Structure 1
């Protein structure tokens, strides 16, 4: 194991054990290095890496602190990965989405209110009426965001948003025959919203699966 990785693991162990708490200031570098049995250079590299991951926060002139460790902070690096992923990496992210999103949609079908159904139909109608690609993509994102919110799990909502970012959608749709692709999306979105309105979890999950599988096919064709 590289010395930096070892340093990261030791700091992680302090977080897991509760020895370091969210918002707590790290001991001074020389003290922490001795405490963990590490060189100061290895510790410094580990702190840089953990800061990039938003686990630690450097405050100029005041030292380094443990972040709030809120999921939205820790998932930000994954958001960047999703935006820049292409080819096989992008396909792998979509495969994860296909495992997660249908189940989330099924849960939403069991919980959705009349007002939430009406809200989805408004977004769907606006999406169908959109006269440019950017507006369509914005409304596409919004429709999926509102469905995820019905589940009531902010971490799940954020994860689904990351797995299908706006940047990814732009790249994907611009690599396909846009007109037919958007028509397919409208049909798939309508099927999802209808299943949610019917409060049918199995149908909602099936409709979401069809939709994400179609996106996978577009990506596969675009990558050929």
Structure 2
């Protein structure tokens, strides 16, 4: 895949170091372990295993779906990877072994926005639903579109300014699209990486879940379970497949 190619996979853990920090990762793993309730879990877009590996180490049987062979290869290099089988394919349509029997399907770190059309995002919800056992849950972590922070007439907003990396989002409000621009300097060399995203408001995600046959199971401002409010910049939302 063009975006998640070998160079991005090689540097992913370093460039995303802030979400590997224990104070960020541990609450996510704890939350997901509780929602799994000891049953099997499936991570869509499992990447290099940031969440799947520690969740597996907690005793939760974890499988993954991942589009990028390069990202999956990085996962396979890590301790504990043998316990996390990965199916290569699109999270909007690929089928993992055990389909229909998962207690938890989850999608973290804004990855639902990597699907660039509403149809693809709806398909992802449907794919998650068909992997769930009755009573199982689909959990998504995603940002709230920060449009209120854009001054009138402007379409760019920095999201990270550091010593070695600067990140800027540019917004296409009409089409619910943004492009994240990452500029980094490492060992005296500069690099540029861009990724496209389609955002969706919480209410739109709720409708996607309903179309997939899921019902609301909770929404929080973060993995710590804090209340979701009008000022929240992100949310963790759960939808449940009803018991038949």
Which category of TM-score, normalised to the shorter sequence, fits these structures?
Answer: under 0.3
Tell me: higher relative CO, structure 1 or 2? Use CA pairs within 8 A at least 6 residues apart: 1
TM-score (norm 1): 0.23
TM-score, length of structure 2 as denominator length: 0.22
Larger Rg: 1 or 2?
1
